[in-house]
Structure 1
């Protein structure tokens, strides 16, 4: 009885998620695993503990029993998009794909291969990190997510208490802003690394950093090489 009372008292505390860094776009990775491109920028969530008077606490509270699970949803309705099925065309034209809801019946499709559309690590532990402004906070970072097929999507995040095996306790749910997944040929390129991503990477988080200075050097080197090629055409070397 005392144990049950302790669980009830602990869950009387309310937790809330916010998304300081939403995904903007991504490049589809197809159905292989050799050329995965991550959702850009890295989705980052912040956890708050809500007290009875409505005030929010950013850190210095227990969070080791909390994780966030991520799932893929449609951009305009509350419908899962994390399952696709593959089939071959009758004329041998190769594989075809179609996204389906998790609620769809797949038992009637024995000839098709069912795959997940969201690839990577879909669960994040909590990390206490320092923000660029110098404040401590508790964050969940999803730095290993890719999407197989192009389309318009949202990410659904659920805060879960893993200390209870049954029933599963979902403490909060939040959706990202809609974003577009492009085909490899149409992808406009990765965004400049955000200040928040750079700050967390400097604290040991595995976030890929794009160095703008190295990109500028590469562009200058390309322009320099182009000038050399043009001059060689204008003034070709004399024949022996």
Structure 2
């Protein structure tokens, strides 16, 4: 009877040994379980950053399987998302004349004797999204233009809206002459800040007197039946200070400004014959 009893005890202890869990399968306070040890993600809404903890040393092979990919960590955006999603029709536009002309010489009927306004007119464009953030609408820039109109010295009487839109004149030669339309350029100002600028380096006046120039910002909508670009609703406008058109014999060009020279060094399309770049 003793032999069967010893066999029973042997099988009992063998069963107890097989039923015990290995130490590596027991989650402890210092190690995570195999089902959660791949990596934890901590998100902070205040800093929009994320950190990932390294895998535990007790991770199983199942943790590295294709069915358990690493969580995607979204990088923090460097620009305002609202600026990207803003509709062009909800943006606001502001023009500011940052360089006013001082004088020019009348050219009368002699086009070869015409001289440009000095210093050249420079207008700065500021675009803001609905949240008030200053933005540079890259996709819209090719469709934004600024054009000039001539007013009396007091600014009340429009004298010449220019012939840039292809409208027929009434037979009288225009007072305002030259390149009256400008496209936007991205340049640095004297403080090193990037901005949007319109330059008018080739503008002349036919008759002597005192005048003001108006700058109007417009978005081009598309070609018309005549093949010319149609102009949409004006987006912004600004006026120069009064300037003089004097007889050629009395004319002395205004000295070049630091802003003009800075833009020339950056590659702006300004008459280099009138304003040679300096270093």
TM-score between the two structures when normalised by the length of structure 2? 0.58
> Does the 8 Å contact 1:192/1:212 carry over to 2?
no
Tell me how far apart the structure 1 counterparts of residues 98 and 158 of structure 2 sit (CA, whole Å). 23
Cα displacement (A) at 1:27: 1.1
2:233 aligned to 158, 169, 177, which one?
A: 169
2:260 aligned to 192, 197, 222, which one?
A: 197
Residue correspondence of structure 1 range 208-219 to structure 2 within 5 A: 208=272, 209-210=274-275
Q: Does 1:27 align with 2:127?
A: no
What does residue 206 of structure 1 align with?
Answer: 269
Tell me how far apart the structure 1 counterparts of residues 275 and 142 of structure 2 sit (CA, whole Å). 31
String of CA shifts for 1:176-225, please: whole Å, max 9, x gaps.
111111111222x1121101100111122232344699xxxxxxxxxxxx
3-state SS in 1 of match to 2:104: strand
What does residue 248 of structure 2 align with?
Answer: 184
Shift of the 50–212 alpha-carbon distance from structure 1 to 2, 3 Å rule, reads closer
Q: Which has the larger radius of gyration?
A: 2
What does residue 238 of structure 1 align with?
Answer: none
Tell me how far apart the structure 2 counterparts of residues 206 and 167 of structure 1 sit (CA, whole Å). 24
3-state SS in 2 of match to 1:197: helix
Tell me how far apart the structure 1 counterparts of residues 145 and 275 of structure 2 sit (CA, whole Å). 28
2:213 aligned to 155, 158, 167, which one?
A: 155
Unaligned runs of 5+ in 2: 1-85, 162-168, 224-229
Cα displacement (A) at 1:71: 1.0
Cα RMSD (Å)? 2.5
Tell me how far apart the structure 2 counterparts of residues 28 and 163 of structure 1 sit (CA, whole Å). 35
Shift of the 19–12 alpha-carbon distance from structure 1 to 2, 3 Å rule, reads same
1:38 aligned to 116, 122, 125, which one?
A: 116
1:139 aligned to 184, 193, 197, which one?
A: 197
String of CA shifts for 1:62-92, please: whole Å, max 9, x gaps.
4221000101111213322228xxxxxxxxx
What does residue 88 of structure 2 align with?
Answer: 10
Q: What is the number of equivalent residue pairs in this alignment?
A: 177
Unaligned runs of 5+ in 1: 1-7, 84-105, 108-112, 214-240
Tell me how far apart the structure 1 counterparts of residues 237 and 148 of structure 2 sit (CA, whole Å). 10
Structure with the larger RCO, 1 or 2 (CA within 8 Å, 6+ apart): 1
Shift of the 161–60 alpha-carbon distance from structure 1 to 2, 3 Å rule, reads closer
Residue correspondence of structure 1 range 32-71 to structure 2 within 5 A: 32-57=110-135, 59=136, 61=138, 62-71=140-149
